[in-house]
Amino acid sequence: MIDIIFIIIFITCIAYIIQYRMNIKKAAEMSTQALFPRTEREFNSILIPAEWKEMQPISKHSRSYQYVKWATLAALILLFILLVVVLTTDWIESSLFSSAYLFFILIKSVQHKGCLFILSKGVIINGKFYHPNQISSYQTEKIIRWHELYGYSTRVDNGYKLTLFHKKSWLNPSSYVVVENEEHLKKITSFFDHQGIVGNHKEQTT
């Protein structure tokens, strides 16, 4: 019974990793048609969570794209090795939690650093294209003192958290980036409004 559960989890992970790889490839191809960002200044104004570095273009020759490409291959090889170990030994019976944690690490290891591209008929965020009908709404927040992101970086402070809420996506219900200035935030939200994506501004409370 445990072996069957493991195989189901294994197949799910394989499907997720392959689909993620295809999403990144599609994003790289479509990002060349982006309405925003287009200039170096616009790219620099978008900060990616965790490292808070400026967003970089996606291309098949970029370092981030190549990382996802080879990390996907490595993750698939490791998953197949793990499957063989599980099916030929009783390791899984004593290490179910460790196996689940390993699956989680492998999935996280192939993820792109993050991005936001506005297209004429949709949005690419964190390496995946969303049609406007797949986005329920967007929300903006000024990052001032007492905000959850305040203090992570001097460039994040007094910037704007821009969150997109996805429809029918319980694994990833929302995605966000930080926009450094109001000028570019208004430009982004004007594209959203034009595509019929509703939004609101969340006021900071103390």
Taking only the tens of pLDDT, the chain with its 206 residues reads: 556 777 777 788 788 888 888 888 898 899 999 999 999 999 999 999 988 999 988 877 777 777 777 878 887 887 788 777 767 776 555 555 566 666 667 666 666 678 999 999 999 998 889 999 999 999 999 999 989 999 999 999 999 999 999 987 766 789 999 999 999 999 999 999 999 999 998 876 65
Which residue range(s) make up the domain with 43? 2-202
- Residues 143 and 179: their CA atoms lie apart, in Å, by 10
- Residues 71 and 89: their CA atoms lie apart, in Å, by 27
- Residues 88 and 186: their CA atoms lie apart, in Å, by 58
Output the pTM of the full model.
0.80
- Residues 134 and 128: their CA atoms lie apart, in Å, by 11
- Structural domains in the chain (count): 1
- Residues 47 and 44: their CA atoms lie apart, in Å, by 7
CATH number at residue 82: 2.30.29.30
SS3 label, residue 158: coil
